[in-house]
Structure 1
């Protein structure tokens, strides 16, 4: 909302400076986004009355003018403007004047003729881009008067960034009400009187969609002069509010909209047939609008129509066929209240907007519909003449304004400031709210122009605004601080993040809503949780896996030539679950996901370069689980490479997956090669095993190695589990240290070398004890796995 400060001050004569006024409005929730001067600084520019104009003897395009500059002083000025003429009044910069751009006016000789000043265009004064000729001033301007004062060029323009709930401030009247309430200064609005009915012409109005248009007023004004000039004061206010003057009749409707917040529309009455009615459009009905766009209407669009056709999209834009023009002699002036729900979104559907729709979809004052019509009628008669016919009005059920109960104790609890009933009553009076008191509570009836007052908290906000947010003390919270007990078997999220960061991973944060395709690719999720109002069309569903976001992070890094990427993320994932909490029907589990891509180590001279692989990331996860030991079992997963994926089990329960990204997705998402990814349930990681003391042996260990040749397809974990289940008590450790295939090993076989550490807590082991234990393990391996001992 852009407006002239001087126009606002004509309604409420506050003594606050411009800066103070801007700060006051901003702190009251009406953010002043911009303050700009109407014109740049310049000095010594007065009204000049051109008395004579003669051709310059030495230049074809110059004129020599005799100009009255006030107090009987006549100046000779050479001027090249094409529109200069005797009798006109124009801005005249006197010698010594400084114009915008530090341009200093001096007495100068122009082609042999002395010139004592300069006649100015609007561009030379910095108030417009028009440089085609001199800026004509009002005929009644007095020669010698200061042009800045005459044109009110010390005015400033304020632009408010309004929130959608404050539709009442989309007018000068609404803003003036706010300033009056904030400064405790009475507002003086133009008196609106009922226009005398001097004409007989009228047109019936009718409501056939009363829910969408519960009030409609119309009046015919005959004998208007559409060629009449819009007054200078009105033009100035319109232009400074960002509206382009069109014609007197259109300018009047725009002026009333800015002044009162009520959009109006004027139809050429000669182009109408029969009754004017507010109805819903017929499906497929077409209408050519004032913006020269022809639209095909649907049956949820409210239109204004006569007996023959649709005339306008109600509350949005008029039709071209019924528009007024300079030939209009009789107009039908409309003022109506359209329900916000009937207007909201309709203009955007057709890819345009209008000042009227911007106001109606937020809500206008339904009690001032007729007042706005009378105000516009008064201006039409004063500027364009004519005779006003009777007002025809149709009314259905207007919006209810149910009273809101405000408790004094609730105000103190929410704001932290104690307000007396007298203070609350004063706030309501300043805002123009009618109320009654019931003990320690107020029953407040919101006015018709405040659609944002519906619940108790809305009134509390009004009290805070008028009291001033700056005046609400910032008190530190007061509460007993108790150190909470931390269980030894619990790990904090911070500790987990620090552990994985120590392994070279960097934390990222992605949106919890993702592309639908990524949910299908990385989670095979067909039961999507869709957002009712997504922030972007490609972010329309809630994620059930972190992998899609991590792959997106990798893509971003690759586009920026980062060829080694280690990232992890912790966050909620969302799935449908009838037993889910805290939102019924949805499970919101915390997950930890990670991705590794590029070299296993940063490029360096001390080791050969190689790409990160499954076992590098598996080692990272094993470090994350310590002191617990996780199991890794072969599995399949929609996001992972078949045969290069494993599920992760902790205490026998599956808690996540790890593997290489499926080649299909690496190709689809344009990755040079597949990264290694993992995803875990975070709850399983926050619990750990508390270490327990065990006496260590003081006896020397015995170490033996065996190499078993087994089938290529036999899984190592099965062998380890089998051997561990049949180990004699003296075997303390059994681990794989070598895998070999090649010369000396039959085709389809592999050689697995195990290191076996044996130790007794009470005695030194004898060779017979060691040999016996080793033979038991070998015998079991040969029988259980059809293994062969490799020597």
Structure 2
């Protein structure tokens, strides 16, 4: 939102300079994004009068001018041909640095001294292209600074307006803030008198969509003369970045910025029959002012006549009904369009406009009659004509702001301040609120917010208003009060912190994705579940609630790979949203997902490069599960169809139920997603983990007694899971067997078909003694007996 100081002073008299004002507004929540002077580069440009214009003695295409600036007369060589003696022109003196980057110096041009430059709009930074020098109004005083002559002696403030403060998208709204911050009074908005000069020119309007348009006003103005706007209006609009078009359209744009009320003017001759505010019909098409044909749906509110759609309500007018230089009669529209309906239509059509920006944040329904009168008066003054009566329709779907109960004591307690009730009431009154006392022992009040403040709905909103006007920087710093005994730790938080600690220690980085994904990638990774679709999605790529974390995490991996980051270790913890089959109720489940790809280690001259594989991910899972539960994960064959059929597994819990899966992404899926590396992924249900989660790392004391390492080679059926064999071996004597791992698996010559040779290495060690040969032999015998009995194996 751009405003200028002079424009702001039309609404309130204040003595703050631009920098101080910007700082005050920033502390009040209207952040100053930029501040710049309009006259930058014009400091040494003045109005001059051409006394003589003669041919250059040494050049046919140049002129030699004598220019009077106050008491001095300058000789200037000029290459333009549109100036004559007596003209008032913009003269850049020696030493000027113009907005276009040109530095003016004393110079010789074809043997003649030139003491400055006659400027065009381009040199002054006011146009991208211009022909000839700028010729000013003959009444412009000689020697006047050009910035003052052109209305450029002003300062622009660019404010970042948050979505809840739509009332500050107009100069009047910012002026209200300045009044509340400084204690000054707003200049009253006088209701202009508009005589009814054309009583027969009654606007026939029908309101058929009161939901999309709660209030609508229309008026016919006949006999206007469309033409250029006066300089003051052009300067105001151009100072804040809007291009002047013509006097009628410029009035609507001016009031949009001044009073935060979008308006629209139609060419009356192009309308057929009554104006109707309705829903669009299926298949209707509108070519908007930007020249684009747009397909409409019945969910969209439009302005139409008996033959066609004229405009998208609250967003943009149609190209075929706009005001042109040939227009003589207009139909002027001022309305309040529903914020949600306007936002939904604009997002669906991907159409952005100044009107939509304001309507979707909420305008002031009660200001419509005043804005209509003010716009009419300005059009009559600038374009002439006669106005008919106003047709004002109210659909009854908009209601005045509800009363808010508030307690000064609560404001002080929540805000950390100490203000009297009278001071708080004065702040609320300055914002336009009505404050009414309620009888009782403690000061209590009922507040009616103004019609332009749609964001004030509850007591906490009033607390925020009072604190920000008081000044966040004025709130004293105080340490929080904490209980003497430490709080009971939240088990879920302990779990997530421990997961984060372990995975970061393994070299993973945490990713945070949106809970919304596209339906295509959702179906690719969890097609068995129908996800919940959002009613008002940001885009089609974020239109459904995720039922799996892996879809978003793979998209993150895809973005990293496309940008050259080939070694990835990513994890995410978050909720997925699962509709229950029996009743459709949405369940939120906490899950963990990991993605692994690229080299196993950073490239080194001392080790050969190796890409990660299934066992790297399995090893990370083992470290994680042992760190969380003290137990190794139980893996069985299986897993989702989007995983490699030979490199996937289901992760089981202590009761044998599946709590997750892991594996390599299927090559077909890798190709469909155009991934440059093999991806290894896992997803785990955090809520299904056993309750005994280690709350942090603990000291590990190494035994000072020697260990005994033994190897066993068994012949067993080929389909016997190696993990199951390891688990059985570890269960033989959990106190002495410190480690059991598979060191070799062999099939081929010497091994019967359907069988395999599996070699295990074990480590036996005690904390309090050196093991004897007898103890070692006893454990070995029990290991052999257990494996032979459980798996039908034979010792080789």
Partner of 2:134: 135
1:173-192 counterparts in 2 under 5 A? Answer: 173-189=172-188, 191-192=190-191
Q: Is 1:477 aligned to residue 480 of structure 2?
A: yes
- Give the deviation of 1:721 after TM superposition: 8.1
Partner of 1:459: 462
Partner of 1:712: 718
- Give the deviation of 1:492 after TM superposition: 5.9
> Using the alignment, how far apart are the partners of 2:205 and 2:535 within structure 1?
37
> Using the alignment, how far apart are the partners of 1:142 and 1:731 within structure 2?
102
Partner of 2:60: 60
- Give the deviation of 1:276 after TM superposition: 3.9
Partner of 1:422: 422
Pick closer, same or farther for the CA change 1:80–1:201 going to 2, 3 Å: farther
- Give the deviation of 1:475 after TM superposition: 1.8
Partner of 1:511: 513
Partner of 2:589: 588
Quick one: which of 692, 702, 706 aligns to 1:687?
Answer: 692
Partner of 1:9: 9
- Give the deviation of 1:453 after TM superposition: 2.3
Comparing 450-459 and 560-569, the one that deviates more: 560-569
Instruction: Give the root-mean-square deviation of aligned CA atoms.
Output: 4.6
Comparing 57-66 and 623-632, the one that deviates more: 623-632
Q: Which has the larger radius of gyration?
A: 1
1:294-309 counterparts in 2 under 5 A? Answer: 294-306=293-305, 309=308
Pick closer, same or farther for the CA change 1:95–1:186 going to 2, 3 Å: same
C-alpha distance after superposition, 1:346-381 (max 9, x if no partner):
344444333333333333222222222222232233
- Give the deviation of 1:206 after TM superposition: 2.9
> Using the alignment, how far apart are the partners of 1:269 and 1:675 within structure 2?
64
- Give the deviation of 1:174 after TM superposition: 1.8
Comparing 549-558 and 718-727, the one that deviates more: 718-727
Comparing 374-383 and 7-16, the one that deviates more: 374-383
Q: Do 1:512 and 1:572's aligned partners in 2 also have CA atoms closer than 8 Å? A: no
> Using the alignment, how far apart are the partners of 2:373 and 2:737 within structure 1?
103
> Using the alignment, how far apart are the partners of 1:759 and 1:168 within structure 2?
75
> Using the alignment, how far apart are the partners of 1:249 and 1:465 within structure 2?
39
- Give the deviation of 1:609 after TM superposition: 6.8
Partner of 1:441: 444
C-alpha distance after superposition, 1:22-68 (max 9, x if no partner):
11122222222221221323445332223443434443222344444
1:590-605 counterparts in 2 under 5 A? Answer: 590-591=591-592, 593-594=593-594, 597=597
Partner of 2:317: 318
- Give the deviation of 1:340 after TM superposition: 3.2
Comparing 609-618 and 414-423, the one that deviates more: 609-618
> Using the alignment, how far apart are the partners of 2:707 and 2:52 within structure 1?
123
Q: Do 2:42 and 2:146's aligned partners in 1 also have CA atoms closer than 8 Å? A: no
Pick closer, same or farther for the CA change 1:113–1:744 going to 2, 3 Å: closer
Unpaired segments ≥5 residues, structure 1: none
- Give the deviation of 1:239 after TM superposition: 1.1
Q: Is 1:70 aligned to residue 70 of structure 2?
A: yes
Q: Do 2:202 and 2:388's aligned partners in 1 also have CA atoms closer than 8 Å? A: no
Partner of 1:750: 756
Pick closer, same or farther for the CA change 1:396–1:661 going to 2, 3 Å: closer
- Give the deviation of 1:163 after TM superposition: 2.0
Partner of 2:411: 411
Q: Do 1:4 and 1:240's aligned partners in 2 also have CA atoms closer than 8 Å? A: yes
Report how many aligned residue pairs link the two structures. Answer: 774
Equivalent residue of 1:33, what SS?
A: strand
- Give the deviation of 1:424 after TM superposition: 1.7
Partner of 1:19: 19
- Give the deviation of 1:329 after TM superposition: 3.1
Using the size of structure 2 for normalisation, the TM-score is 0.82
Comparing 701-710 and 47-56, the one that deviates more: 701-710
> Using the alignment, how far apart are the partners of 2:321 and 2:786 within structure 1?
99
Q: Do 1:40 and 1:126's aligned partners in 2 also have CA atoms closer than 8 Å? A: no
Pick closer, same or farther for the CA change 1:126–1:713 going to 2, 3 Å: closer
Partner of 1:450: 453
Q: Do 1:216 and 1:335's aligned partners in 2 also have CA atoms closer than 8 Å? A: yes
> Using the alignment, how far apart are the partners of 1:326 and 1:470 within structure 2?
53
Q: Do 1:544 and 1:573's aligned partners in 2 also have CA atoms closer than 8 Å? A: yes
> Using the alignment, how far apart are the partners of 1:279 and 1:732 within structure 2?
78
Pick closer, same or farther for the CA change 1:147–1:525 going to 2, 3 Å: same
> Using the alignment, how far apart are the partners of 1:757 and 1:298 within structure 2?
73
- Give the deviation of 1:525 after TM superposition: 4.3
> Using the alignment, how far apart are the partners of 2:74 and 2:727 within structure 1?
112
- Give the deviation of 1:426 after TM superposition: 0.6
- Give the deviation of 1:133 after TM superposition: 1.7
> Using the alignment, how far apart are the partners of 2:215 and 2:498 within structure 1?
65
> Using the alignment, how far apart are the partners of 1:448 and 1:38 within structure 2?
34
Partner of 2:267: 268
Comparing 6-15 and 142-151, the one that deviates more: 142-151
- Give the deviation of 1:391 after TM superposition: 3.6
> Using the alignment, how far apart are the partners of 2:478 and 2:363 within structure 1?
39
> Using the alignment, how far apart are the partners of 2:549 and 2:455 within structure 1?
40
Comparing 346-355 and 33-42, the one that deviates more: 346-355
Pick closer, same or farther for the CA change 1:724–1:40 going to 2, 3 Å: closer
Pick closer, same or farther for the CA change 1:133–1:544 going to 2, 3 Å: same
Pick closer, same or farther for the CA change 1:255–1:726 going to 2, 3 Å: closer
C-alpha distance after superposition, 1:548-601 (max 9, x if no partner):
556556555655666665555544455445999xx974142343x545556666
Q: Do 2:511 and 2:553's aligned partners in 1 also have CA atoms closer than 8 Å? A: no
> Using the alignment, how far apart are the partners of 1:156 and 1:121 within structure 2?
22
- Give the deviation of 1:423 after TM superposition: 0.9
- Give the deviation of 1:16 after TM superposition: 0.7
